[in-house]
């Protein structure tokens, strides 16, 4: 039995696996195939109690991003200093942001940087391992770092910009492997390991960046 009564919403669709996500507001969402019963879903949630308790706690602990001049911000593993500029851009060791509506300008900058950097990583892996995808999309999502659709459209949240390069590379490999296996089967993880042999270490490190989902 679970230590506390955790409420959750169920979204059914034509999918093969059941998954859990925790939203920014602390809502638990279960995505499940049509044929899975309510009892089976409840048991699935109960089996993941420890994971849920941790992520429910993490979902309430965002990290404020200091955008004042002189503040330091890490973007894809490199440290930059915030300064005032006419437009939002990276130049040498500085992040230039306008004086007005600075937070929105920073979000838009991260979207552009994410598109550029994640495309570089995806294309590099595709070229080396013979994989492919149809399109790259950047979202403002908070529930997951990335996703891959049945049409092989890969989406990343712009919050990947707060990750060091090795974790961004892991995410690129992870989603590309979903173009071959749309589940988390042993065959899927075998493909991930082929590209990122130390993926287990990187997955553990990724948990330390959940604060980014509640930032901005």
Tell me whether residue 68 is in a domain. no
Q: Distance (Å, rounded) from C-alpha 9 to C-alpha 28? A: 6
Give domain status of residue 185, yes or no: yes
Residue 167 lies in a domain: yes
Alpha-carbon distance of 46 to 4, in angstroms, equals: 10
88 in a domain, yes or no?
A: no
In the 8-state DSSP scheme, what is residue 96? E
Residues of the chain with pLDDT under 70: 1-6, 23-26, 55-63
- Token pair recorded at residue 194: 């082929």
- Provide the number of structural domains found in the chain: 2
pTM over 0.85: no
Residue 3 confidence (pLDDT): 40
183 within domain boundaries: yes
| Contact present, 146 and 25 (Cβ < 8 Å) | no
99 located within any domain: no
- 32 within domain boundaries: yes
Predicted confidence at residue 4, as pLDDT, reads 44
> In terms of residue numbers, what domain contains 143?
109-214
**Is the domain of 29 the same as that of 117?**
no
């Amino acid at each position: 039995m679970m230590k506390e009564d955790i409420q959750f919403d169920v979204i059914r669709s034509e999918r093969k696996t059941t998954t859990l996500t925790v939203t920014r507001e602390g809502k638990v969402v279960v995505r499940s195939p049509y044929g899975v019963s309510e009892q089976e879903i409840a048991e699935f949630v109960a089996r993941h109690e420890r994971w849920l308790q941790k992520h429910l706690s993490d979902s309430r602990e965002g990290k404020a991003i200091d955008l004042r001049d002189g503040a330091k911000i890490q973007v894809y593993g490199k440290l930059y200093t915030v300064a005032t500029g006419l437009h939002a851009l990276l130049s040498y060791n500085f992040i230039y942001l306008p004086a007005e509506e600075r937070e929105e300008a920073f979000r838009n900058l991260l979207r552009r940087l994410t598109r550029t950097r994640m495309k570089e990583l995806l294309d590099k892996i595709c070229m080396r391992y013979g994989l492919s995808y149809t399109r790259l999309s950047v979202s403002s999502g908070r529930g997951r770092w990335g996703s891959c659709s049945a049409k092989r459209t890969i989406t990343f949240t712009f919050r990947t910009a707060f990750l060091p390069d090795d974790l961004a590379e892991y995410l690129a490999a992870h989603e590309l492997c979903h173009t071959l296996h749309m589940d988390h089967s042993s065959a899927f993880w075998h493909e991930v390991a082929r590209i990122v042999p130390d993926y287990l270490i990187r997955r553990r490190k990724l948990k330390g960046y959940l604060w980014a989902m509640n930032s901005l």
